Amino acid sequence: MRLTAAHSHRLPLSLLLTAALAATALTACGGGSGSSPDTIKVSYKQSTDNSVKVMDTYLAGIKKQFEHKYPGKKVEFVPIKAPDSEYYTKLQQMLRSPRTAPDLVYEDTFLINSDITSGYLKPLDPYLAKWPDWGQFIDTAKAAAKGQDGKTYGVPDGTDTRGLWFDKRVFGKAGLPTDWQPRTWDDVLAAARTIKRKVPGVIPLNVYTGKPAGERATMQGFEMLLYGTGDGTRDPLYDSGSKKWITGSQAFKDSLGFVETVYKEKLGPDVSDALDPNFNTTVNGELLPQGKLGIALDGSWLPYAWLPGSGHEWPDWSRRLGLAAMPTQHGQAPGKVSMSGGWTWSIPAKAANPDLAFDFVRTMQTKDNARKWYIANSGIAVREDVAADPKYVGAQPGIKFFTDLVASTHYRPAYPAYPKVSTAVQEAMEAVTTGDLSVAKAAGEYDATVEDVTGGQVVRG
C-alpha cells in the first residue's frame, strides 16, 4: 500500500479516516515542539498480540542502561500497536510534523526509501563516521538503509530469512517423511494434498495472501515463489539494467498460479481467515503449537513467540517442527530460495533531539545488547562479531539453518516505488485467492497498475 500524501487518492476511505484520526490522536503524544532537550521520544511497532512483549521488554532494559549512562536524560516510549500497514500509516503521519515527530523511529527496510524520498528521515553519516561499531555491520544490511543519494538513513537491528516450517506430528499421521526436504513446488503441493486427504481438521499449507496481510503476503508469500523461478541470475521483479519494473512475465503468472492452487483446492486456511490482518498471530500462537497446521511458509523469527514469558510458551517446538528450504520452481539451481528484509532505527528529519537519539542507538547496538536482541526476537545477526559468537550460534535451534540461508537469499528492490508495486502484488494475490479473477486477468491488472504507479517505467518480462 502506498501511504504518502501524493498517492492518498489510492487509499480506501476507511483507511484515510483511520489515518486522519491517528494523526489527531498522535499529536498529543509525539515529539517535536515542546519536547524537553533532556528527553528522547522513541516510537516502535508494538505487537498486536498482547502476550508478546519481546520488544517492550528489550527496550525497557535499554532505557534503564541509557538513563544510568546519561544522568538527567530520559527516554519516553511512543509505541504504535497496529498491524503492519496501519503502523506505516500512523508512523508517516507522525513524521510529517515537528509537533508529532519522535526522536527515533523503527523503520521497515521495505519502506525506508519511500520515507527518505519524502524527506522524513535524517542522514546518519556524520554520526556513523565517528562510531567504531559501524564497521562490524555486514554490507548487505548497510545497503538496506541507504538512500539513492548514497547516504545512510538507518542502523539495522538484524535481518531475517524465510523457509518452510512443517509439523512432524502431522507428517507422521499423513505417512510423510519427518525429514522432508521438497525439491520442487510440486513436491510442496503434493505434501499438502496428502495432508488434506489423510489428516482431516488440519490446514495443510499456509501461504500469506492479500492486502490485509500487507508485506507478509508479498514477501513471505509471493516473492518466495517468484524469486524461485528462472535461473536465479535475473531479478524477476525489477530490471536493474534498464531501471524498470518487469511486467507480463510467465514467472509472475506461475507464482500467482501456485497461490490460486492453494486456495482453489482448499489446501490453505479458509479465505476469511487468510484475509484477516492478524492471522499471523493465530498461526504463531495457536495453529502451529496445537498441531493444526501442516506446512507454514514463514520466517526465521517464529520462535520468539514461543520463548519463556511470551504468553505462547512452547518449549517443545524444536522437537515438533521440522525445517526445510523453500525449493525453486522446478528444482533448478541453486535449488532453494529465501527472501531477507529487516528493520532499522532511524532519526526523523524533524526530530527535536537527534544527537541524544543516536546515543540511544549506540546504547542499543553494543555487541552484548545486539546479541541479546537477536536471540530474544529470533533475528539473524547483521553484526559480524555477533554472528561469530558461540553464545549466539548455540542460543536456539534453527538459528544455524536460517543463518545459512543468507547465502541463497534475495532482497526486495529498495526503490521508492516498491511499496506501490507491493500493493499491486497483494491485490493480484487476493483476486486469485477469492476466485474473483483468473490468473491471467489478475496478472493483467497487476501490469496495468504497475505501469500506472511507476509512471510507465516498465519492461516486458
pLDDT tens, position by position, 342-375:
899 999 999 999 999 999 999 999 999 999 999 8
> Cα(360)–Cα(124) distance, rounded to whole angstroms?
13
Q: What pLDDT score was predicted for residue 32?
A: 47
Specify whether the CB–CB gap between 357 and 40 falls below 8 A: yes
* pLDDT score of 51: 61
Mean pLDDT across the stretch 426-447?
98
Is residue 223 included in any domain, yes or no? yes
377 with 255, same domain: the answer is: no
CATH assignment at residue 187: 3.40.190.10
- pLDDT tens profile 162-181: 999 999 999 999 999 999 99
Instruction: State whether 304 and 392 are in the same domain.
Output: no
In this structure, are 50 and 106 located in the same domain? yes
One domain, residues 326 and 203: yes
Q: Is residue 11 very low, low, confident or very high in pLDDT (cuts 50, 70, 90)?
A: very low
Same domain, 371 and 438: no
For the segment 242-272, what is each residue's pLDDT rounded down to a tens digit?
999 999 999 999 999 999 999 999 999 999 9
The Cα–Cα gap between 93 and 230 comes to 40
Mean pLDDT of 300-329: 91
Residues 95 and 218 both lie in one domain: no
Per the prediction, the chain carries an average pLDDT of 90
Does 85 reside within a domain?
yes
Same domain for 210 and 310, yes or no, is yes
For the chain, what is the domain count?
2
On whether residue 351 sits in a domain, the answer given is yes
Q: Which three cell numbers stand for residue 317?
A: 517446538
Asked whether the predicted pLDDT for residue 35 surpasses 70, the reply is no
In this predicted structure, the answer to whether residue 160 has a pLDDT above a threshold of 60 is yes
On whether both 343 and 320 belong to a single domain, the answer is no
- Do residues 431 and 374 both lie within one domain? no
Task: Measure Cα distances from 356 to 66, 130, 190 in Å.
Answer: 10, 15, 55
**202 falls within a domain:** yes
Classify residue 325: in a domain, yes or no: yes
> Does any domain span residue 229?
yes
Specify whether 240 is located in the same domain as 258: yes
Tell me if 17 is assigned to some domain.
no
Structural domain contains residue 191: yes
Same domain, 46 and 99: yes
Which of 408, 427, 445 is a domain's end point? 408
Q: Which residue has the higher pLDDT, 17 or 49?
A: 49
181 with 249, same domain: the answer is yes
DSSP for 202-253, written as a single string: SEEEE---SGGGTHIIIIIIIHHHHTTSTTSSS-SSEETTTTEEEES-HHHH
Please report which confidence band the pLDDT of residue 54 belongs to, taking 50, 70 and 90 as the band edges: confident
- Domain extent for 178: 161-338+412-458
- Record the pTM: 0.79
Identify the pLDDT of residue 114. Answer: 86
The per-residue pLDDT for 9 is 34
Looking at residue 308, its pLDDT comes to 80
More confident residue, 311 or 338: 338
